[in-house]
Amino acid sequence: MPSFGNGRRVAIIAGVRTPFARSGTTLKDYTAIDLGKLAVAELVQRTNIDGALVDLLVYGTVLPSVMAPNIAREVALLPHFPRTLQAFTVGRACASANQAITDAADQIALGHADIAIAGGAESLTQVPILHSRRMSDVLVAASKAKSLSQRLAAFATLRPRDFVPITPAIAEPSTGETMGQSADKMAKINGISRESQDRFALRSHRLAAVGTADGRLTAEIAPVPIPPQYASMMSTDNGIRTDSTFEQLSALKPVFDRLYGTVTAGNASPLTDGASAVLLMSEDRARALGYTPIACIKSYAYAAVDPGEQLLQAPVLAAPVALQRAGLTLRDMDLVDMHEAFAAQVLSNIQGLASPAWAARAGFSHATGDIDESRLNVMGGSLSIGHPFGATGGRIVTTLANELSRRGGQFAMLTVCAAGGMGHAMILERV
């Protein structure tokens, strides 16, 4: 299978993100578009890239604004760019920023672009809330009424239940199962204990706290002024618990399957607001402009499972394909970053990667391999840092590329699970 790039290597120049905030807290007054603009503006300033040189902006979001569904174009209208910067929005659930990055990388590899910005944003505070179907019908009928009495007659048909708003559920449209229920189900199928989930969540908080305190995570964050006064700045993630203990985590009640479940608020990623942005260039253009790439994209893959099966297990199918496309094995990876939607999901994914049966499903005769814990999520992950759906992929690519460079390693792999039973894997190479 050909390796990604066809001779035009795609370089990661820099990445930046807003702080990630638990939804309904510090960033609650920012829309996803505002957050995206903050991240992209900071990326432009930090890299000193001339906005007129950017060929393309690709952005991901999972719950787009009904009023401005193409978030990418809204972000591209920042004063840092000419109004001619074309931009499009992509959606692949929790892997949306990854999709933005691979779409931008494809355009560069094809020779259709030399310089692109990709990333994503999400406000899980400002989610669209809909009227009921009946209420919508009545509002339309009332708007077409030719007299006050006709309008009143339309409203008179409303019943109390018609006023109940509809909020987007984090559930599969095809099965009705929520993400949390899926994680609980995966824990049961794969025998992932409550204790191992809580220990993994604790590890995530501890490592993210270290990465924040020593400045490695903080360096990737664009400080954001806090509304409504805008007098102080938020410069670190507010979900990381430096004081969390195993005893506290063990005491939390299961939230999704209250009777027999093991998934709690402590071992699930929290609902989060935030945005990320990554600057990509063809390697030749980067060198010509005097930029030193942090890493190159060596390969990537996407895969899917039946959403009714193990919803968050598809990274296990994507990883061996991405590795094969790179001509590498899991043992060659100096670092691995697996998106932490739920501790039960990461632990199931690790188990799946070590399983010949899962490898066979991806078309391979040997298991992908064992994950060396000392190389895994070395600065925590979404369980502690938070998970603004559309933005997370940009955070992972940035942190992984920076850490690979700091450690002087050569290769790194990231994986992301996503709603719809989808999974993503990407291999980075330090250059």
Ligand X SMILES: CC(C)(COP(=O)(O)OP(=O)(O)OC[C@H]1O[C@@H](n2cnc3c(N)ncnc32)[C@H](O)[C@@H]1OP(=O)(O)O)[C@@H](O)C(=O)NCCC(=O)NCCS
Catalytic center residues: 94, 387, 417
Instruction: Give the count of beta carbons closer than 10 Å to the beta carbon of residue 22.
Output: 18
Q: Indicate the SS3 state at residue 92.
A: strand
Spell out the residues 6+ positions from residue 313 whose beta carbon is closer than 8 angstroms to its own. Answer: 186, 305, 345, 348, 349, 352, 358, 417, 421, 423
Coil vs helix vs strand at 131: coil
Which DSSP helix (H) or strand (E) runs through 323?
helix 315-326
3 state SS of 268? strand
Residue 81 carries which side chain, given as an amino acid letter? F
Q: How far apart are CA 376 and CA 109, in angstroms?
A: 29
From the list 85, 75, 61, the residue with the least C-alpha distance to 393 is 61
Cβ atoms of 122 and 388 within 8 Å: the answer is yes
Q: Rule CB under 6 A: which residues touch ligand X? A: 94, 170, 179-180, 201, 205, 241, 244, 248-249, 252, 255, 265-266, 268-271, 341, 387
Distance CA 284, CA 307 (A): 41
Q: Which of 237, 228, 36, 40 is nearest to 122 (CA)?
A: 36
CB 339 within 8 A of CB 96: no
Strand residues in 217-265 grouped as ranges (E): 224-225, 233-234
Cα distances from 363 to residues 321, 325, 418, in angstroms, run 9, 13, 21
The helix or strand, by DSSP H or E, that contains position 414, with its residue range, turns out to be strand 411-418
Residue pair 348/313 in contact by the 8 Å Cβ criterion: yes
Please answer whether residues 361 and 320 qualify as being in contact, where contact means their C-beta atoms are separated by less than 8 angstroms.
Answer: no
Rounded to 5°, angle at Cα 393 from 221 and 69: 95
